[in-house]
Amino acid sequence: MQPIGCAAVTRLPVPAPHEKARPLAKGSVYPAKDLCSQCGLCDSRWVAYVKTSCAFLEQRFEAMESGAHGRSRDLDNDDELYFGVHQRMLMARLRQPIEGAQWTGIVSRIGVRALESGLVDAVLCVGQSDSDRFTPVPRLARTPEEVLSARVNKPTLSPNLEVLEQLPGSGIKRLLAIGVGCQIQALRAVQATLPLEELYVLGLPCVDNVSRKGLQTFLESTVSSPATVVHYEFMQDFRVHFRHSDGRTETVPFFGLDTPKLKDVFAPSCLSCFDYTNAGADLVVGYMGATFGRQWVTVRNPRGQQLLDLVEPELETAPVTSSGDRRAAVQQGIEAYDKALKLPLWLARLIGLVVERLGPKGLEYGRFSIDSHFTRNALWVRRHHPEKVEAHIPAFARTIVSRYRLPEA
Ligand SMILES: Cc1cc2nc3c(=O)[nH]c(=O)nc-3n(C[C@H](O)[C@H](O)[C@H](O)COP(=O)(O)OP(=O)(O)OC[C@H]3O[C@@H](n4cnc5c(N)ncnc54)[C@H](O)[C@@H]3O)c2cc1C
């Protein structure tokens, strides 16, 4: 069967970059300049294609969706407008969670099963450096153990695509790539030129990523003991949950974050990104469209279902649900963020409790988060890169943003 994601390969064979093409030197100014998300493409010889594949130089959502899924998203269907092309969405958790995973470990288990079943020869995933748990080290894992040791988020910009440089001569013909939106946009753009027979893409939703330095500022302004944090997540109960190395959990309400300090922490690439839900992946596994404690799974095409089939017998699943109304909270949030208001902790906790009880849940929470980030990012692009507004903000994001009143640019 012709893999959907490889449609472009048969239509238009594109030569791989010449082997003399050289990755850019580390530390040089990359083509996207301040908007670079350090996805790693420029750290490989595939830098030869950067002008047409970098998510921050040229947005190409429609072409990417058509190439990967056979069609672009239906803008008249509100679920597709928000969550992208899909054939199925569900909530799930592993009956036997993987200890130390970000949530229950569905992503790592798919990686393990993909290798064990012979579906792929390697899994592109992100380990951690020996000296720092939050410094990402992308790798091509060949064994289940290597995939498992890459479990849990490294919540920092990760140069995943630098490992493309290792593909030629490696014997890897079938690859499962795990990654966030900016990495997957560039990967899809060069897919036809890769020395692969099969590519499966398992995406993570992603927003508000940071450099390693930015992460330090975030931890120091938010948590009691930054040095002992081993895991954190912005969760559906409107709190950030931190886990410390001694097993202790600490929660901080979103509304109590130090907005004046944090406004400048997020990477400019993330402040100009509209690919929150990872539009080009075959399968996306996140949490924000699920009720608290479960993961949210979006199957975009038959390849995505093939990946999910690897673990479906091990999952407890449920249909997605949606309740509440996000719109007033989003509108209030736009204004509060713009004024960089910082609330006293008692008030933040009180608002958090009310919103948790009465606020949006399930898919409506997902829409709340998308609306909040797209409006913030549209404003950021208008203010910092007005010359890019036309070409950079995709049609689906414009429709979403137009539903709200934005402050003056
Ligand atoms: C930076 C970041 C931001 C995210 N933001 C959201 C969000 O806003 N909403 C939402 O619903 N979900 C978000 N996710 C996804 C979510 O946090 C979980 O990663 C996902 O649900 C999978 O959980 P798991 O237990 O199955 O993963 P695990 O089995 O623990 O596996 C985690 C996987 O993440 C990969 N990974 C780790 N760090 C990175 C990185 N920096 N870049 C690329 N890949 C990486 C590893 O290779 C590993 O395979 C984000 C993920 C990341 C990495």
End-to-end CA distance of the chain: 50
Residue nearest to atom 48 of ligand 1 (CA): 151
The pLDDT of residue 199: 98
- Using most ligand atoms within 8 A of CB, pick from 137, 153, 307 the residue to mutate for ligand 1: 153
What element of type H or E holds 91?
A: strand 88-94
Q: 48 φ, ψ to 5°?
A: -55, -25
- With helix as H, strand as E and coil as C, how does 131-176 read? CCCCCEEEEEECCHHHHHCCCCCCCCCCCHHHHHHHCCCCCCCEEE
Cα(98) to centroid(ligand 1), Å:
14
Which amino acid is located at 265 in the chain?
Answer: V
Cα(204) to centroid(ligand 1), Å:
5
55 contacts: CB under 8 Å, gap ≥ 6:
37, 39, 181, 182, 185, 186, 269, 273, 275
Q: Which residues have CB under 6 Å of ligand 1?
A: 98, 101-108, 125-126, 136, 150-156, 158, 160, 178-180, 204-207, 209, 233, 285-288, 295
Q: 220 φ, ψ to 5°?
A: -70, -25
Q: Is 264 exposed, middle or buried (0-12, 13-18, 19+ CB in 10 A)?
A: exposed
**Sheet with strand 315-319: strands edge to edge:** 136-141, 122-128, 174-179, 198-203, 283-286, 295-299, 88-94, 315-319
CA gap 223, 397 in Å, rounded: 33
Nearest Cα to Cα of residue 285 among 56, 103, 127, 75: 103
Structure tokens, 363 = 């898919």
- With helix as H, strand as E and coil as C, how does 37-85 read? CCCCHHHCHHHHHHHHHCCCCCCCHHHHHHHHHCCCCCCCCHHHHHHCC
Q: Is there a contact between 126 and 136 (Cβ–Cβ < 8 Å)?
A: yes
- Which ligand 1 atom is at minimum distance from the Cα of 109? 29
Angle between helices 181-190 and 61-69 (to 10 degrees): 70
Residue nearest to atom 21 of ligand 1 (CA): 286
The pLDDT of residue 11: 44
Nearest Cα to Cα of residue 407 among 385, 365, 384, 375: 375
pLDDT tens for the chain, 409 residues long, are 333 444 444 445 577 888 788 899 887 899 999 999 999 999 999 999 999 999 999 999 999 999 999 999 999 999 999 999 999 999 999 999 999 999 999 999 999 999 999 999 999 999 999 999 999 999 999 999 999 999 999 999 999 999 999 999 999 999 999 999 999 999 999 999 999 999 999 999 999 999 999 999 999 999 999 999 999 999 998 899 999 999 999 999 888 888 888 888 999 999 999 999 999 999 999 999 999 989 999 999 999 999 999 999 999 999 999 999 999 999 998 988 888 877 888 888 888 888 888 889 999 999 999 999 999 999 999 999 999 999 999 999 999 999 999 999 8
Cα(10) to centroid(ligand 1), Å:
32
18 contacts: CB under 8 Å, gap ≥ 6:
45, 48
Q: 190 φ, ψ to 5°?
A: -105, 5
Where are the domains positioned within the chain?
4-209+269-322
pTM of the full structure = 0.95
Cα(285) to centroid(ligand 1), Å:
8
Q: 203 φ, ψ to 5°?
A: -100, 155
- Using most ligand atoms within 8 A of CB, pick from 204, 254, 307 the residue to mutate for ligand 1: 204
CA gap 136, 184 in Å, rounded: 17
Structure tokens, 77 = 């269907």
- Which ligand 1 atom is at minimum distance from the Cα of 180? 43
The pLDDT of residue 13: 59
